[in-house]
Amino acid sequence: MQSIYIHTPFCAKVCHYCDFSVLSAPERLYEEYLSLLKIEMEIMLKRYPEFAHHTETIYWGGGTPSILNTQQQNKVFDILKKQGIYFSSLLEFSMEVNPESCFEDRIENAIQHGVNRFSLGIQTFHDDLLKRIGRSHDVETAIKALQTLLKYNSYGISISGDLMFNLPGQTIETFLSDVRFISEQNVDHISFYGLNIAPMTVLGKRIERGSDFVDESVYEPMYLGGVELLSKAGFDRYEVSNFAKPEKQSLHNKNYWNGGSYLGFGPGAHSFVGSVRFHAPEKFAPWRQWVLEGCPESSLSLDPIGKEERLIEKIWLSLRTSQGLNLKTLELESIPIPQEAIQHWENQKMLVRVGDHVHLHGRGWVYMDSIIQDFLR
């Protein structure tokens, strides 16, 4: 499968935990971004024409794509159309939405142009926690945005709600109440991610100074409790942090985990074509310069993936999904997993073997990194 990712780097404000390529900027910069995006797409799709003709999924993320008004949105849709991408032939077209910019005219406009899946960044339904992590919305706004999106369920539109856990000040029960509430809505996909503390962020610096604190001891019960609640509510875990009702998995994200090809546009957007991963400059100003210079390959950050790296990556990506790791495939490639490593984690009841596959089990989903390191040793 081939996919396209579009990165819109603007946010109403940058969250305290965020270390992505995002910025809070005046609207005049939105127009400049759209002009640059057009140039980048024209150059890169000419360089990789297969993505203009055979793309099956598009994911428009950020940042905050919904920060763009309908006229600005249309410029993105027009760029894609002019490059020969027909939305009617896509299997999935996803767009991220933040609650504070979830306006009906923007949602309806996106649907009219082929978007059939929305991912709403909620993070938590507790105002004190939203303030603590620097989100731009409050709980009332999040619920209103969710209700707005759910109006379009009857149009065949898929809705995903994103949560976070192990936040500073978050208790097990407050997180589980978030999971319980979102599962009772009519969404068909839920993601929840453990907080990653990046040292150079506002939150990272607070924690380093000792003015804030994350209790790591609640990570495991939060995660396992959330999984149990979603399982009872009819959501299947198909990846460590992603849960879906039947036939509602994210096809775009599955393409990443299955090692498919993708082409990214926008500041810092990552691509994987052939056997090379690459990305453009991450900050807006260097990205602007790179685009105006004609998107030279010499200025890309390149990461060639050899046979061994590809197989190691396959181990990591496969284990984090419900399909598990195919041991037979690895043996054919002369990279067998040590049997004593498999047996050790089976004895710990964190791994199960089904035919030629091994799957994470129970607490194994929490200790995934340790299991993978043991496999690769």
Dist. CA 191–CA 314, nearest whole Å: 22
Domain boundaries, the chain: 2-257, 307-376
Question: Among 248, 227, 229, which residue's Cα sits nearest to residue 180?
Answer: 229
Strand, helix or coil at 326?
Answer: strand
> What distance, in Å, lies between the first and last C-alpha atoms of the chain?
31
Dmax (CA) for the chain in angstroms is 60
pLDDT score for 309 = 83
Phi, psi of 48 (to 5 degrees): -125, 70
Q: How many CB atoms lie within 10 A of CB 47?
A: 12
Dist. CA 252–CA 275, nearest whole Å: 19
pLDDT score for 377 = 76
CB 283 within 8 A of CB 68: no
Quote the radius of gyration of the chain (alpha carbons, Å).
Answer: 21
Phi, psi of 136 (to 5 degrees): -90, -5
pLDDT score for 310 = 83
Dist. CA 3–CA 21, nearest whole Å: 20
Buried b (16+ CB within 10 A) or exposed e, 106-124: bbebbbebbbbbbbbbbbb
281: left (phi over 0), alpha (psi -120 to 50) or beta: beta
What is the fold of 2-257?
Answer: TIM Barrel (3.20.20)
C-alpha 226: how far from its chain's center? 19
pTM (2 decimals)?
A: 0.95
Residue type, 72: Q
Report the DSSP pairing between strands 301-304 and 276-279. antiparallel
pLDDT score for 201 = 93
Q: DSSP secondary structure string, 110-130?
A: HHHTT--EEEEEEE-S-HHHH
What is each CA distance from 64 to 12, 23, 97, 136, in whole angstroms? 8, 10, 6, 11
CB 144 within 8 A of CB 107: no
Dist. CA 172–CA 175, nearest whole Å: 5
Buried b (16+ CB within 10 A) or exposed e, 174-190: bbbebbbebbeeebbbb
What is each CA distance from 22 to 9, 40, 235, 282, in whole angstroms? 4, 18, 31, 9
Tokens read off for 67: 């920060």
| Residue in the block written with tokens 């008004």 | 69
Tokens read off for 3: 């996919």
pLDDT score for 243 = 98
What's the chain's length in residues? 377
Question: Among 339, 278, 333, which residue's Cα sits nearest to residue 307?
Answer: 333
Strand, helix or coil at 348?
Answer: coil
Residue type, 255: N
Dist. CA 25–CA 284, nearest whole Å: 11
pLDDT score for 48 = 95
Enter the DSSP assignment of 136. S
Phi, psi of 247 (to 5 degrees): 70, 15
Instruction: Give the ranges where 4-64 is alpha helix by DSSP (H).
Output: 28-47, 50-54
Per-residue pLDDT for the chain (377 aa), expressed as one digit of tens each?
999 999 999 999 899 999 888 888 888 899 999 999 999 999 999 999 999 989 999 999 999 999 999 999 999 999 999 999 989 889 999 999 999 999 999 999 999 999 999 999 999 999 999 999 999 999 999 999 999 999 999 889 999 999 999 999 999 999 999 999 999 999 999 999 999 988 989 999 999 999 999 999 999 999 999 999 999 999 999 999 999 999 999 999 999 999 899 999 999 999 999 889 999 999 999 999 999 999 999 999 999 888 778 888 888 899 999 999 998 888 777 777 888 999 999 999 999 999 999 999 999 999 999 999 898 87
